[in-house]
Amino acid sequence: MNKLVFGSSEDMHELADKSVHLVVTSPPYFNAPFDYPDLFDTYDQFLNLMRKVAKEIKRVLDDGRIACFVCDDTLVNGSKFPVVADITRIFFEEGFKYRDKIVWVKPEGYIRISRRSGVMLQHPYPMYFYPDNLQESILIFQNGNFDYSKIPNSIKEESKINLDEWSKDKWFLSVWKITNVLPFSNRLEKGIAAFPEEIAYRLIKLFSYKGETVLDPFLGSGTTLKVALDLGRKAVGYELDLELLDVIKEKLGIGKQARLVDAEQFDIVIRDDAKHLRKELQRRITEQKSVTKKTEK
């Protein structure tokens, strides 16, 4: 059964041990000023959440299966936090194999010379170098060894990778060039820091078989679950922020006639620990922007 749980993924008791075949997710970007200002009191609080979620993923993920974390180091008030290294270390310490890292590169045209890299224009001297960021990491962890002989041949054939697509779009490289979700004002993913469907599409095709269960412990707008359903997988996910319920329903087509899934096919659980975050985060972001504008004048 497909499942949506509103509550913190540090506790995923709704999922049985070894009931998940793949995790594809992107955790909140620590306290990133334009996405999650002050969501966590401290960096340690963020890392504690990552550890609890890693432990729960270890429990629910079947033997040999994969967990993919799309993440990046985060710049908060001029300090960079080593999120990628710390998540890698936490998963390693919790008993996962560190299988791979893919670098997701976004198109260059999308980034303008920012106030960060632009420092060089005013001070063209050594030590004023601050590059603009065009990439994120896709960390790939594995829960022990995978027994390839367990998968029936018919399922293998149904899940076969299209090698034309694999070679044309260069899936075989450790660098994937994929356009980010563009910031159109009326987009469904506004204020969510969503990743593009293409990332979920490649990972789900590469690391799960038809009919298996894909988990996203940090749903956001629900991109992973939408693609999982499109690809004939079952979908389960957790989201802390109850204010995203309608966005997720819209993306998954829940309750809409002739759309992707009927409401009955989704078990929606709203727990006591679900929160209301979005409006408050948006208010803080707007407040920050107006302070920045005033100081630029």
Interaction residues for ligand SAM, span 189-208 (CB under 6 A): 189, 192-195
Minimum CB separation of residue 49 from ligand SAM in Å reads 6
User: Closer CB to ligand SAM, residue 8 or residue 143?
Assistant: 8
Query: What are 141's strand-pairing partners?
Result: 67, 98
Interaction residues for ligand SAM, span 24-43 (CB under 6 A): 26-28
Stretch that binds ligand SAM, among 83-91, 121-129, 218-226, 257-265 (CB under 6 A): 218-226
Residues 139-178, mask of contacts with ligand SAM (x by CB under 6 A)? ----------------------------------------
Long-range contacts of range 49-54, CB-CB < 8 Å, 24 or more positions apart? 49/8, 49/10, 50/86, 50/87, 50/90, 51/90, 51/94, 52/10, 52/11, 53/9, 53/10, 53/27, 53/217, 54/90, 54/91, 54/94, 54/96
Could you say which of 2, 3, 4, 8 contacts ligand SAM (CB under 6 A)?
8
| Longest pairwise C-alpha distance within the chain | 66
Minimum CB separation of residue 163 from ligand SAM in Å reads 27
CA 108 to chain centre: 21
Could you say which of 61, 180, 203, 220 contacts ligand SAM (CB under 6 A)?
220
Instruction: Please state, in angstroms and rounded to a whole number, the distance separating the CA atoms of residues 177 and 175.
Output: 7
Instruction: Please state, in angstroms and rounded to a whole number, the distance separating the CA atoms of residues 97 and 88.
Output: 10
Binding site for ligand SAM (CB under 6 A): 8-10, 26-28, 49, 189, 192-195, 218, 220-221, 223, 238-241, 244, 277
